Chain A
Amino acid sequence: MVGQPTDFWNQLGSNDADVEHLYGFLLERGTPANSRDLAVNLIEWRVHEEERRLAEIAARRAPVYQPKETYSVGQSILFTALGNREGFVRRVRDADNPRLGLFQVIGVQFDDEPNLLEFASSYAAPHPLNQEIAPTAITLDLTAEQAVETFADKVRGNLVQRLGADKEFVHLGDQWYLKGLLPEINPGYLNLAEAAVEQTGDAMTTGELLKILDLPETEKRSAMRFGLNLALSHDARFEDVGPMNETRWFLVRLEPPEAHERPGILDANQVRTVPLSSELETIADELVDKADSVGNGHQSVAPRDEVTLILTYPHRRAGTLPLTPLVRALLPDFSHPRLRFTFVDATTEEKVAGYAVTEGNYLAGLTNWFASRRLSPGAYITLRRGPRPLTLIIEYQSQRERSLWVRVARGINGRLLFSQEKRPLSHKYDEEMLIVVADPVGLDALARAQAEQRNLQPLLDEVFPELAKLSSSGHVHAKTIFSAVNLVRRTGPRAVFSALAESRSFASVGGGYFMLNEEARR
C-alpha cells in the first residue's frame, strides 16, 4: 500500500471504507469538520493502520522476499517491492529459461489478486532484491506527517467529491457533518429568525440568532450553529452577507434592488483598447473604473486606508461606486455574492446600509446619499477604512454653495448636447470631469440607443465638437470626453482614450488635451 503512493494515495478518500471511517470520526467528534481536517484524519488513520499491519506481519516473522531464497508451499512472504504486501506460496515449479539457467518459480497468492502471481526463487543472478536487507527494512515509506504534507490536497479533493455524493453527509461551504446528527430546525424557528432580522434591520450573526431562537441544547454549540446555518442557507428568504469566516444572515427582501441585480446603467460593452501614451496611461490610472477590467476585481493591491474616487454618471445614477481592488482592500474579505456593511458619513455620522457586490464589482446603497448631497458627475468621493469592522467612512468634499459656470448636458432630439450654464454647486469636483445633468430622462433615451453600439467613434465624433465649442481654444481634455461618453454609455477610461488616440478626427495637443484636426473641423 504505502509502497505505491501514486496508486494508493491518489485514490484515498474515494472508497467505502474511507467514508465509513469518516462517518465514525464525525459521529464521535459530534461537531462539523472542514475537508482538510477530514483528509488529515483519514491519512493519519491509514498510516497507523498500515503500521499496525506491518507490526502484525513482523510478529508472525514473515520473511522479506528475496529472489535468491528458496521458499516452500504454505509459507508467507512479505513483498517490499509490491508495497509491503503479504503473499502465500501456493506452488513451486522449475523455471524455463535456457539463458538464465536453473532457478525456481513460486506461485504466490495475494488477498486482492484472483490469480497466483509468479516470482523467481533460488535465483542467484544479480538482482536489486538480492542485496542484503537490514532488519528494519519493513517500514513505511513515509510518516503520517509526510503523507499529510504530500497528499492532503489530493485526498481532500477526493473526499469532497465522494462525500458530496453521499446522502449521509451534509456540508455548508467547506464544513462537513452527518445528516443524522443535525439539530431539528423546524419552520417555526426560521419564521422567528426572519422576524428577528427584520426587527433588528441589520444582518445578524448565527450566534445572535441562536440566542434569540433558544433552541434545545441537544447538541454541541458548533453543531447547533452548523445546523442553523444549513437550514437558513436552504431558505430563500435568507442570505449570508457576512465576511469570510463570519456568517451574517439578512433578508433578501430587505436588500435594495440595485444590490441584488446589477443596474443596467452599469453594463459596459467590451470595447477594444490599445497601448496608450504614458500621459494618457497616467490619467487612466487615476480614473480606475471596473468597466475597463475583465477580472473579478479581487486583485491583490497594497492596502491603503483611504481611496478617493471621481464620481461618474453611471454610478451617480445607480447609487453605486466602483468596487476597485483598492476599494475592496478597505473591506474585509468575503466570498459570498454580497457583503453587507455600513457607510458612515464622515461629517454627519449618518449610517447607510451598503453592499459590496461581487458580480459586477460595485458598492450599492448610495442612491439617497448622492441625491441628498446633490452630487454631480465629477464630484470627489473619499472612502476610508472604518474604525469598526464592516464600516466604511464616506465623505464628499463639501463647500459653500456657489453659482458657477459649468458644463450642462441634455439629450435633445436624439443628440447629446452641452452648454455652459450657471449652476449652484456645493461640493468640490474635478474640473475636467464635472458635468451637470439637466435632463436625466433625455440621457436615458440616448443611452438606450447606444446600448447596441459597439464602436465608440460615432459617439466621440458627436460629443467632441459639442464640448470643444465651450472652450475658446477648442481643446477638450481626455477626462472630459470620458465623463461625457459615460453620460450615455458606461465605458472605461482606457477604452475612451484608445478610441481618441486611434481616431484621425482628433489630435493630441499635450497635457491630456485634444483638438479637432483640420479635416474634421471642415
Chain B
Amino acid sequence: MAPIVRPDIHTPFHIDFGWFEQNGRDLREEMYDALCEECRALYPSPAEKRLVDRVDPETAQVMRVDALWECLADHCGQKPGFITPATPLTTAIFRALLANENRPLTPEQLHRRIGKSNPNSILRVLMGAQIENGIVPAEGDGKQV
C-alpha cells in the first residue's frame, strides 16, 4: 500500500461524523448552535430529525434533505454574520464546512471562505495534536506517493 504523505495546504478536509459519536459529542447540537434565530424558530429542537424539500440552486431539482443541513447550506451559511472576524478560527473552519454541506475543502479554500489567518496556519490548526470538531483529511483525497 502506498504511504500517505503529510497533508499540505492542497489536502481536502471534512468533518468526520463518526468522530462526534466516539467523543461523546452531538453533531446536531453543534449544527443547531450555528443556526440563525430565524431557523431556530422554525426548528425548535435539534434532536428532531426532519426532512424537507431542498431546491437545487442551479437546476431547481428538489431533493429531500435534513432540515438543519438545508438551513445551514442555503440560508444561515450564506448570511454575513455566519462567520465574522471575531469568530474563533476553529469555529470558523467548522462553520465553513457546515455551510459547504461537508463537501471537503482544502486549507487554501478554507482561507478564502473564512477570510482570516492564512492557509499554512489553518493547516497547522487542522494538523494539531488534537482533532478539532472532527475535522480530518477527507478519506481517499490524501495525496499518495
Contact = CB atoms under 8 A, between A and B. Distances in A.
B28 interface: no
Contact of B59 (A81, A100, A123): A81
A95 B61 contact: no
A98 interface: yes
A103 to B, nearest CB: 8
Given A117-B61, A118-B61, A128-B58, A100 B42 contact: no
B60 A120 contact: yes
Interface stretch (B18-26, B48-56, B95-103): B48-56
A4 B55 CA distance: 20
Contacts of A167: none
A99 interface: yes
Interface residues of B, number: 19
Given A95-B53, A97-B70, A81 B62 contact: no
Nearest to B71: A99
B58 A123 contact: no
Contact of B58 (A81, A95, A97, A118): A81
A127 B57 contact: yes
Contacts of A127: 55, 57, 60
A119 interface: yes
Contact of B62 (A82, A95, A98, A99): A95
Contacts of A99: 38-39, 42, 52, 67, 70-71, 75
Nearest to B62: A118
B58 A100 contact: no
Nearest to A68: B60
Interface string A418-456: 000000000000000000000000000000000000000
A117 B62 CA distance: 8
Size bracket of the A interface: 20 to 34
B60 A98 contact: no
A383 interface: no
Given A81-B60, A99-B42, A99-B71, A120 B55 contact: yes
B33 to A, nearest CB: 18
Nearest to A130: B60
Interface in A209-239: none
Contact of B55 (A65, A79, A123): A123
Contacts of A244: none
Contact of B53 (A67, A81, A97): A97
Interface string B87-114: 0000000000000000000000000000
Contacts of A117: 61
B60 A129 contact: yes
Interface in A123-154: 123, 125, 127-129
Given A96-B53, A99-B71, A105-B53, A82 B39 contact: no
B62 A119 contact: yes
Contacts of B42: 98-99
Contacts of A105: 53, 62
Contact of A119 (B51, B57, B60): B60
Contacts of B61: 117-120
A97 B54 contact: yes
Interface in A59-102: 65, 67, 79, 81-82, 95-100
A123 B57 CA distance: 12
Given A95-B53, A96-B53, A98-B52, A120 B62 contact: yes
Nearest to A118: B62
A67 B58 contact: no
A82 B62 CA distance: 14
A100 B55 contact: yes
Given A97-B70, A118-B53, A123-B55, 9 more contacts: A79-B59, A95-B53, A97-B53, A118-B62, A119-B59, A120-B60, A120-B61, A129-B59, A129-B60
25 contacts: A67-B60, A81-B58, A96-B52, A96-B53, A97-B53, A97-B54, A97-B67, A97-B70, A98-B52, A99-B38, A99-B42, A99-B52, A99-B75, A100-B55, A105-B62, A118-B53, A118-B62, A119-B61, A120-B60, A120-B61, A123-B60, A125-B55, A127-B57, A128-B57, A129-B59
Interface of B: 38-39, 42, 51-55, 57-63, 67, 70-71, 75
